Structure 1
Amino acid sequence: MALKHHSSGQSDDHFVVELTKHQLDLKCFIRSLMPGYGADVPDILQETNLITWQKRSEFIPGTNFKAWAFAIARNKVLQHMQKTNRRSTLLQKAELTDLLIEKSSSSTDSLELKSKALEHCLSKLSKKNREIVRARYEQGDSLAQHSSRTKRSESSLRVTLHRIRNSLRKCIENRMPQEFKP
């Protein structure tokens, strides 16, 4: 039986602060559970936010909000994968998922720094290269889809995307403090 806290405006304000603070972590966690299905991530994140808000009275202040929200996200991913018949082996192995939760919980600082570094590095790309990255990773377009839109061959896009990823990786590594480098 879950303990309930009072539903005062102040409690809701604190809850919103916690939920907002962990949006990037939740998005990255959901993406890690759904490799190859990046286009579904925003929907799962939105559903996760909705459920966490609806269940906010079940959250016990002082406990690990991130772990609680990750458990909700994990369940939403499982539901989504079942609904779309794409249940992966990773999701069937609860121990691995729990390990991901634990690892992700301990690497928030690194994740935030990498995210800021990525934003900086993306801003350094040419407009054309940023469009390729956004089409592939934010919109979830396949190379074939992007190829037909831009009239570039898939192989040319594949090579360009490989070069862009290498460039971004090097840029991010150069911007990271020594203690967070692999």
Structure 2
Amino acid sequence: MAMELHPKHRQTTPSASSEQVEQWIADIQPDVRAYIISINGTGEDIEDIIQETNIFLWQRHSEFKPGTSFKAWAFRVAYFKTMAHRRDRIRRGEVVFDEAIFQRIASRAEETFSQQNDTLTALRHCVSLLKQEEQSIISEKYIKQRSLKEFAKEIGKSADSIHKSISRVRVKLAHCIKEQLNK
């Protein structure tokens, strides 16, 4: 399954501006880091692999194919940079697991990130379908991370009332996301 990136991060012109490329790279940092850790494990070379991946993405961004997923391309680059570090570790005589296992781990990590991306896309869609009041409650709780008591007091409702509203919205979102993913 090909990984899709949010439409605002897709390149639509043959040459992206420096600012666009910078933003794309910045936007995918948490995912690239998590992907590299998932296929390499934690270790002192993680930061080196991330840096080498970012340098490659920056220097060779003209090789990115318009209309495709920048994140998927970045993951491919990260995979090869991780492979290079893995080969270096083998040369140094460090214990490294079998190549076939490494490839299975990398494949599973890409699949997991793709599924997470699908779920996030479905969540965004489902949140957009909520009433304004429901969106506000979700925003206060999960984005702004405000306490229920504080928010309830501000809008003149009980914390219990807000808690029940959040529970209803969560059920509604879960149902909507499930529907979206099954389409």
Shift of 1:23: 0.2
Partner of 2:10: none
Partner of 2:27: 21
Match of 2:80 among 75, 79, 84: 75
Match of 2:57 among 52, 76, 81: 52
Partner of 1:64: 69
Cα distance in 1, alignment partners of residues 97 and 77 from structure 2: 18
What one-letter code is carried by the residue in structure 2 that aligns with 1:29? Y
Distance 1:91 1:43, change over 3 A: farther
Secondary structure of 1:57's partner? helix
Partner of 1:89: 98
What one-letter code is carried by the residue in structure 2 that aligns with 1:97? A
**Regions of 4+ moved over 4 Å:** 90-93, 177-180
Cα distance in 2, alignment partners of residues 91 and 77 from structure 1: 14
**Percent of aligned positions that are identical:** 30
Cα distance in 2, alignment partners of residues 95 and 24 from structure 1: 22
- Name stretches of at least 5 consecutive residues in structure 2 with no aligned partner: 1-12, 122-141, 146-169, 178-183
What one-letter code is carried by the residue in structure 2 that aligns with 1:15? V
Cα distance in 1, alignment partners of residues 31 and 99 from structure 2: 19
Cα shift readout 1:99-132 (whole Å, capped 9, x = no counterpart): 321321331449xxxxxx9xx9xxxxxxxxxxxx
Shift of 1:89: 2.8
Task: Tell whether 2:43 aligns with 1:31.
Answer: no
Are the equivalent residues in 2 in contact too, given 1:33–1:91 (CA < 8 A)? no
TM-score with structure 2 length normalisation?
0.50
May I ask how many residue pairs the two structures share in their alignment? 109
Partner of 1:98: 107
